[in-house]
């Protein structure tokens, strides 16, 4: 099975569209990211772009939370989670019904 690694959200959408009707598996960076049976495997590991603007961070699914936390701390802000995986893996733990946002609020200490 070939593993595809889109580098941004636009490329991820293209991969999904071109894989319509096939069994797709999406993997992040955590320990639970073991390859399973699928026709198309996609990893978000190459989706690492993020930017802190004021008290918000705009980030893609594969960005590691510790990387966001480090940049936020340099601006005296806190990322509101102690999770150390990727943003895409973190979001379902606290928001199981909603899809991941591209913008997350940061907190002032």
Q: 33-42, 48-57, 58-67: which range is least confident on average? A: 33-42
pLDDT for res 103: 57
Q: Count how many residues are written for the chain.
A: 109
41 sits in which H/E element? strand 40-43
Query: What pLDDT band is residue 41 in, cutting at 50, 70 and 90?
Result: confident
Using the Cα atoms of residue 83, residue 89, residue 90 and residue 93 in order, give the sign of their dihedral.
negative
CB 98 within 8 A of CB 68: no
Query: What pLDDT band is residue 6 in, cutting at 50, 70 and 90?
Result: very high
pLDDT in tens, 11-40: 988 998 999 999 888 877 655 556 667 888
- Strand-pair category, 3-4 with 40-43: parallel
């Amino acid at each position: 099975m070939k593993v595809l690694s889109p580098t941004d959200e636009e490329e991820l959408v293209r991969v999904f569209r071109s894989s319509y009707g096939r069994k797709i598996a999406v993997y992040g960076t955590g320990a639970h990211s073991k390859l399973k049976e699928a026709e198309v495997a996609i990893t978000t590991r190459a989706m690492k772009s993020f930017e802190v603007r004021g008290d918000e961070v705009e980030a893609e699914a594969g960005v590691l939370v510790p990387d966001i936390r480090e940049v936020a701390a340099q601006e005296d802000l806190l990322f509101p989670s102690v999770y150390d995986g990727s943003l895409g893996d973190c979001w379902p733990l606290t928001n199981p019904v909603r899809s991941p946002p591209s913008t997350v609020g940061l907190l002032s200490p």
